[in-house]
Structure 1
Amino acid sequence: MYFNFTYPEYLYLLFSIPFLIFFYFYNIKNVGGRSVKFANYEAIARVKGIDLYSKNINVLILDIIIVVALIFSLSGLTLYKEMTVSSFSFVIAVDSSESMGATDILPSRISAAKDTATNFINLLPEGSRAGVISFSGNSYVEQEVTDNKQIIKTALNKIELTTTGGTDLYEALSTSSFLLKNEDNKAVILLSDGQINIGNLDEVIQDALKKGITIHTIAMGTVEGGSTGFGISKVDEDTLKSLAYSTGGKFFAVNSKEKMGQSFNEIIPLTTKLGAVNLSFILIIATLVLFILRQFLISVIRISI
């Protein structure tokens, strides 16, 4: 475990701290406060029985800590430590074609798909990487590959049904492949009802094998089917099974709310790697808390006087 700075040039701002200390004591000695003139410190201390200097030094210490925290935040302080993460990077591909509006899984297939994908993201260890696309007749990048789980879940939540005709699986794979191009081990989590009507399935399988991409498929819907604007839509599990098994992936079926919470641990192989934790946001929060504490301490000093 060790620390590093993304923007070390900001560390030169630490040289401002001696000037802060100098002006602080200069202000105490030469500038009268609203409540007390510090030139009369000795007399006030005898009457009130208080140590004004020590209380103001506490404020000074807080100010120094606040400045240091802000400078470290600007410098991009990052903690590097051993982390257990998925050895694969994923793209979550959500079918947003019209058939995904079927209600054989309440409230709809696409809502169930987004909930299922969110469950999968929740299972990923911190530091694991994933991206999000939606696809129908065209593919759309909802979120590039990142290790920020909250951003991934937000992208999933924003996916809506599209009016674009067809379901182009080949383009979905091409888009996923582009997002995964810089990743070592690549996998696609495909959530669909299997109603693939654009492109050739064999071409998709061969392209995935060529690019070293494992495809795990999750069938959304029931064999009986559900009502859509164009009639009854039934899930095609055979297509999704073929796609998964031919690329070394796993197949799952979600045909009820109860199945949405099933564990996907078997498709999240784990490894240990050196992970980075950016501490800038934590330092900003700490700075705000310390500033509130500083203001409280100043008010206590004024009341004491």
Structure 2
Amino acid sequence: MSLTEFASPWWLAFVLVVAALAVGYALVQRGRRKRMLRFSNLELLERVAPTRQSPLRHVPTALVLVGLLLLTIALAGPTSDKRVPRNRATVMLVIDVSLSMKSTDVKPNRLAAAQEAAKAFADGLTPGINLGLVAFAGTASVLVSPTTNREETKAAIDHLTLAERTATGEAIFTSLQSIETLGAVLGGGEQVPPARIVLLSDGKQTVPDFPDDPRGGYTAARQAKEKGVPISTISFGTSYGTVDIGDERIAVPVDDPSLREVATLSGGTFFTASSLEELRNVYDTLEEQIGFETVRGDASRMWLVLGVLCTAAGLGTALLLRQRLP
């Protein structure tokens, strides 16, 4: 622990006083021994003071000095990193509902597994976080505006329906707009509450044609970066997924590269999941990242308790062994 980790490091100078007391105690003991050796009647000395005194006589003083040292550290105000729940944050949960999500490469199918994991994610977030829900296929819709009411979000997740095409950029733009709307409603405060987009998809963008188009996924990710909203993308599914559309069986492999790029451009993180269990693990990781923040906090209580206990033990031992206080 460095000096910069103390709220009042100048109190550590009191350690010199404790050291001086220890040196003074040692000098007093040495002087007492010399005076005893000058005693003229050695026969009487042996009866009055044993030649070898027990080293336990120093224990009370040692405990008191250690107690003073610990109390000095407590006075200096040590600090440490602490994980505390976030109370002012916004998370937009974005779920792909394109037709490829009915692929059964993830049991029972991609969408059903995504729904189950998303509801668990909603339950696991710390209560103070505002959670919103966006579903997207060819267009994007805000199904639930950011709220702390988890039941509303879970009910909307249960009613997700599939549609054609995939407009990843629209989903991100829609989420950013919802975050800005909430910020305007809340108002006040010196700092805008932190926000995060969690986007789950299984395929590459199909609307518009290119992700760098004005409404494309990469363009939206860059705007999210500018607004300080990282995007955590989850590529959900396998490389061998297929869906039946009419009489045709179509391959719908996951598209890791594009989702990884969206995360990178926004300053977020990229995850993959090819099963319900893996998806749950991803959401658990995100809950830890999003739901808590690390802050510097007071850590003096432990030092204070130990200091008081050591000092009390020293005084108690002195009374027990020497029938007097040190």
What are the ranges of 5 or more consecutive residues in structure 2 without an aligned counterpart? 1-83, 184-192, 212-216, 295-326
User: Which residues of 2 match residues 247-266 of structure 1 at below 5 A?
Assistant: 247-262=266-281, 263-264=284-285, 265-266=287-288
Match of 1:216 in 2: 232
Aligned partner of 1:30 in structure 2 is: none
Per-residue CA distance 1:230-260 (angstroms, 9 max, x = gap): 5121001111111112212122222013213
* Structure 1 SS opposite 2:272: strand
Tell me the distance in 2 between the aligned counterparts of 1:205 and 1:257.
Answer: 26
Identify the residue that residue 180 of structure 1 maps to in structure 2.
179
Where does the alignment leave 5 or more consecutive residues of structure 1 unmatched? 1-82, 273-305
The answer on 1:234 being equivalent to 2:253 is yes
Letter paired with 1:172? A
**What aligned pairs does 1:48-87 form with structure 2 within 5 A after superposition?**
84-85=85-86
1:125 counterpart letter in structure 2: T
SS in 2 for 1:213: coil
Corresponding position: 1:145 with 2:161: no
- d(CA) in 2 for partners of 1:86, 1:216: 20
Residue 110 of structure 2 aligns with which residue?
109
Partner of 2:37: none
Matches of 2:127 and 2:266 in 1, distance apart?
A: 26
Change (3 A) 1:161 1:171: same
When normalised by structure 2's length, the TM-score is 0.54
Residues of 1 paired with 2:148 and 2:158: CA distance? Answer: 17
Name the larger-Rg structure: 2
Amino acid at match of 1:268: I
Preserved CA contact (<8 Å) 1:103 1:228: no
**Is the CA contact 2:224–2:266 (under 8 Å) kept in the aligned structure 1?**
yes
Q: Does the CA-based 8 Å contact 2:218-2:265 persist in structure 1?
A: no
Question: Is the 2:125–2:291 contact (alpha carbons within 8 Å) kept by the matching residues of 1?
Answer: no
Which residue of 185, 194, 197 maps to 2:203? 194
Structure 2 match to 1:120: 121
| 1:23-77 deviations in Å (ceiling 9; x for gaps) | xxxxxxxxxxxxxxxxxxxxxxxxxxxxxxxxxxxxxxxxxxxxxxxxxxxxxxx
Shift of 1:197: 1.2
Contact preservation (8 Å) 2:139, 2:167: yes
TM-score normalized by structure 1?
A: 0.57
User: Could you tell me how far apart the structure 1 residues matched to 2:153 and 2:175 are?
Assistant: 15
CA distance in 1, matches of 2:111, 2:278: 14
* 1:242/1:213 CA distance change after superposition, 3 Å: same
Aligned length: 189
Q: Contact (CA 8 Å) 1:214, 1:247: kept in 2 or not?
A: yes
